Copies of this chain bind each other. A is one copy, B any other.
Amino acid sequence: MDKNSVGIVKTQYFECCQPPQELKLKGGQRLGPITVAYETYGNLNNQKSNAILIFHALSGDAHAAGWHEEAKNPGWWDGMIGPGKAFDTNKYFVICANVLGSCKGSTGPASINPKTGKPYGLSFPVVTIEDMVDVQKLLIDHLGIKKLLSTAGGSMGGLLALKWSVLYPETTASVITIATNHRHTAQQIALHEVCRQAIMSDPDWQGGDYYGKSIPARGLALSRMIGHITYMSEKSMDEKFGRKLIGKEKVGYDFTQDFEVENYLKYRGDSFVQRFDANSYLYLTKTLDYFDLAEEGDLVSTFRNVTANFLVISFSSDWLYPSYQSTELVRALKANDIDVSNIEINTNYGHDSFLVEIEGQSKLISHFLTRLEKKHL
């Protein structure tokens, strides 16, 4: 544990939407009760004006920083959150909640449906980014916070930050989006669809009704392998693996894994199966594909009521959410006279940069937040 760690942390649970106060979902159905797993780091000030809400990505969770008791690794954004770090817990109260539909403590398809006493499986409704935001708004209300200093998220997290800014414009002073866009393109949908087909083609998936039986491990692992390729860049893969063989001098001319990159993907796929639910993966990818921030009109007018300052970060080697997609956001924000800083960080790490490119992001985010403090703290 480094000296700038937030230390040992525990996930907390917020219960809401008890019937008959179920959450009304965008798809028309009602859902409740809902559990929201969340963590907080730092202290909320007396004015409750120093809170920052972090949104995680597709396979992320509420454990963004610090260490769980006896864990081998810290939270997923530990390099960014802590005393003296980009999200400086000496100054800010940082919150991160697991999204609705996930499997990391918040209610999702693997949760028990109180009406049947069995896991929801595919009877869980398809939730949207809007529904996820609505649930986290209930958490923020519960914590007594009227206005956030900032909302921030990379990849899927960026979609939540964008949607929050449009749904609840008066509740955040700023928005930080990283490696994201305002709606999925055909290629992004296509990549998700093959991931879904990988899971649904696994006979063990059984229409989503596999809880307590064999899980669709092969399908989920395959799905994650595909994902991993899209998270890296051609260059970072080549630098990390090239054509290196596993414990061999020459290729073997057979079908066992020969190349290190094959082994790495297999390892990442298999370890994902230990930590994520296949149905949640299906639901969350669908949620991302359905998301269209400008569904009610054009992107410029979508931002018409937004007053928050924006920091829009993208990465030069990210081919999954290429920089031009961030530029589209910036153009629409500027057309509304919104204060927006837009930076493309030059890096080889591809889409994964939002998780690993700590130094460049930290500088930008520290600077952006310090500028805001003067107005809002």
Contacts of A16 in B (CB 8 A): none
Sample of 12 further A-B pairs with CB below 8 A, known A187-B229, A201-B202: A126-B253, A186-B238, A187-B237, A187-B238, A190-B228, A190-B229, A190-B237, A193-B225, A193-B257, A194-B226, A203-B203, A258-B290
In the complex, which range does the number of interface residues on chain A fall in? 35 or more
Choice from B202, B243, B255 contacting A196 with Cβ under 8 Å: B255
Contacts of A193 in B (CB 8 A): 225, 257, 259, 261-262, 265
- Tell yes or no: A122 within 8 A of B by CB: yes
**A262 lies within 8 A of B229 (CB):** no
Choice from B184, B201, B257 contacting A218 with Cβ under 8 Å: B201
- Tell yes or no: A289 within 8 A of B by CB: yes
**A27 lies within 8 A of B253 (CB):** yes
**A261 lies within 8 A of B218 (CB):** no
- Tell yes or no: A234 within 8 A of B by CB: yes
9 nearest interchain CB pairs? Answer: A27-B253, A186-B237, A126-B253, A186-B241, A201-B218, A186-B261, A187-B234, A193-B262, A187-B237
Per-residue contact bits, chain A 251-269, to B (CB 8 Å; 1 contact, 0 not): 1011101110110011000
* A301 to B186 Cα, complex, angstroms: 43
| Residues from 245 to 301 in A contacting B, C-beta threshold 8 Å | 251, 253-255, 257-259, 261-262, 265-266, 282, 286, 289-290, 292
**A185 lies within 8 A of B234 (CB):** yes
**B187 lies within 8 A of A265 (CB):** no
- Tell yes or no: A197 within 8 A of B by CB: yes
- Tell yes or no: A139 within 8 A of B by CB: no
**B254 lies within 8 A of A126 (CB):** yes
Q: Chain B: which residue is nearest A262 at the CB level?
A: B193
* A260 to B193 Cα, complex, angstroms: 11
**B259 lies within 8 A of A194 (CB):** no
Contacts of A259 in B (CB 8 A): 186, 189, 193, 289
Q: Give, as a whole number of angstroms, the nearest-CB distance from A346 to chain B.
A: 17
| Residues from 218 to 233 in A contacting B, C-beta threshold 8 Å | 218-219, 222, 225-226, 228-229, 232
**B186 lies within 8 A of A240 (CB):** yes
Contacts of A292 in B (CB 8 A): 243
- Tell yes or no: A198 within 8 A of B by CB: yes
- Tell yes or no: A360 within 8 A of B by CB: no
* A99 to B229 Cα, complex, angstroms: 29
Q: List 28 A-B contacts (CB under 8 A).
A: A126-B253, A126-B255, A183-B243, A185-B237, A185-B243, A186-B238, A186-B241, A186-B261, A187-B229, A187-B232, A187-B234, A187-B238, A189-B243, A189-B259, A189-B261, A190-B225, A190-B237, A193-B261, A194-B226, A194-B229, A196-B255, A197-B266, A203-B203, A226-B226, A234-B322, A253-B290, A255-B286, A319-B319
* A312 to B259 Cα, complex, angstroms: 28
* A241 to B184 Cα, complex, angstroms: 12
Q: Chain B: which residue is nearest A225 at the CB level?
A: B194
Contacts of A202 in B (CB 8 A): 201
| Residues from 178 to 217 in A contacting B, C-beta threshold 8 Å | 183-187, 189-191, 193-194, 196-198, 200-203
**B186 lies within 8 A of A198 (CB):** no
**A197 lies within 8 A of B225 (CB):** yes
Q: Give, as a whole number of angstroms, the nearest-CB distance from A324 to chain B.
A: 10
Contacts of A243 in B (CB 8 A): 183-186, 189, 292
* A305 to B216 Cα, complex, angstroms: 53
